[in-house]
Amino acid sequence: MRIAPLLAAALFCGVSCLPSAAPAQQTSTVPGRKATLRIAWWRAPENPPELALLQDKDRVSFSPDVMALSVKTQYFGPPTAIIAKKTFGTEKDKQGNPVVIWVPFVSVPVPTDGADLAVILFPDQTGQAAQAQIFDFSEEAFPYGTIQIINYTNARVDAAIDKTALQVPSRGLARYPGRFTKRQPARFSLAVTEPGGEPKLITSTTMIFFPNTRLMYFVLEMPGAKPEDRYHNSVIMENKVVAPILKTPPLPPPPEPSEGKAKGKGKAKADAGGAN
């Protein structure tokens, strides 16, 4: 059974029901907004399209990774960013080549100026369009040293992290309220409670948390699978990259004159005195 395509199809149908983690603030009237967009595929299409972020009359091409937010694109433009894909029209240019046409692939609302957003693309089965799930990735909303649980199932998820209990509703999300300030192992467990059912433990382990790492932990459901195979997980881990501080070494002291040169200078002075 090909789990990934079936999961992606189910998620594509339900991802629009999941509340966005982007900050809920009033839209400003400023026509242009700056933002950092960290764009990734949930599952790349079989033939991934060539994508570009439209900015006024410019295009910024990029290639998203799969389940990794390492690709960061700087955006400046209207409050709704448009990601377009490259296609070819029926007309031809002067060289006889098909004319390139950039058509909208997915839109990304930019709620505030200076936003830092994680954008996960869920392509449809044809690969011709996609939906985007957007998360506030600012350090204020999602600090390093913590974990965020995203529930993509039809059940409630109960989590226990380092003796802290969290409840994540169906199609909802929750973040561990604490913060790990040093490398620390902690007990981590997950249970799902289906409507009218009993809690079912799906994960119980020890995880190691780091102060410069944040985790997005997705709980997934395989519709129609056996109960023991129904629930899965997927993780996106993002590390804070700290640029090293380069220290300029101190300048060496000027070299002292050698003994031979010092004697030569003394003799020259003596000769000059004797000539008088």
Number of domain units in the chain: 2
Are 100 and 221 in the same domain?
no
Asked if the model's pLDDT at residue 127 lies above 60, the reply is yes
Are 148 and 182 in the same domain?
yes
Are 59 and 127 in the same domain?
yes
Residue 274 forms part of a structural domain: no
Give the domain extent around 207: 142-243
Are 107 and 9 in the same domain?
yes
> Mean pLDDT over residues 86-94, rounded?
88
pLDDT tens sequence across 171-216: 999 999 999 999 999 999 999 998 888 889 999 999 999 999 999 9
Residue 264 forms part of a structural domain: no
Residue 65 forms part of a structural domain: yes
Are 233 and 127 in the same domain?
no
Are 11 and 112 in the same domain?
yes
Are 136 and 148 in the same domain?
no
> Mean pLDDT over residues 15-20, rounded?
48
Residue 270 forms part of a structural domain: no
Instruction: Name the DSSP letter for residue 258.
Output: P
CATH at residue 216 = 2.60.40
Predicted local distance difference test score (pLDDT) of residue 258: 65
Hey, what long-range contacts does 98-106 have (CB within 8 A, 24 or more apart)?
102/52, 102/54, 102/59, 105/49, 105/51, 105/129, 105/130, 106/130, 106/131, 106/132
Are 90 and 179 in the same domain?
no
Unique residue bearing structure tokens 């467990």: 189
Stronger pLDDT, 32 or 268, i.e. the higher one: 32
Residue 131 forms part of a structural domain: yes
Stronger pLDDT, 219 or 196, i.e. the higher one: 219
Asked if the model's pLDDT at residue 9 lies above 70, the reply is no
Residue 157 forms part of a structural domain: yes
Residue 183 forms part of a structural domain: yes
67, 113, 224, 226, 276 from 221: Cα distances, Å: 17, 35, 9, 11, 106
Unique residue bearing structure tokens 């080549």: 97
Residue 231 forms part of a structural domain: yes
Judge residue 42's burial from the number of C-beta atoms within 10 Å of its C-beta, 0-12 exposed, 13-18 middle, 19 or more buried.
buried
Q: Identify the three-state secondary structure at position 197.
A: coil
Unique residue bearing structure tokens 């690709």: 71
Predicted local distance difference test score (pLDDT) of residue 129: 87
Asked if the model's pLDDT at residue 1 lies above 60, the reply is no
Distance of alpha carbon 194 from alpha carbon 72, whole angstroms: 37
Are 192 and 234 in the same domain?
yes
CB 49, CB 126: distance < 8 Å: no
**Strand 58-62 to 51-55 pairing:** antiparallel
Tokens of 199: 């809690």
Are 122 and 158 in the same domain?
no
The structure's pTM equals 0.75
Are 135 and 15 in the same domain?
yes
Are 2 and 136 in the same domain?
yes
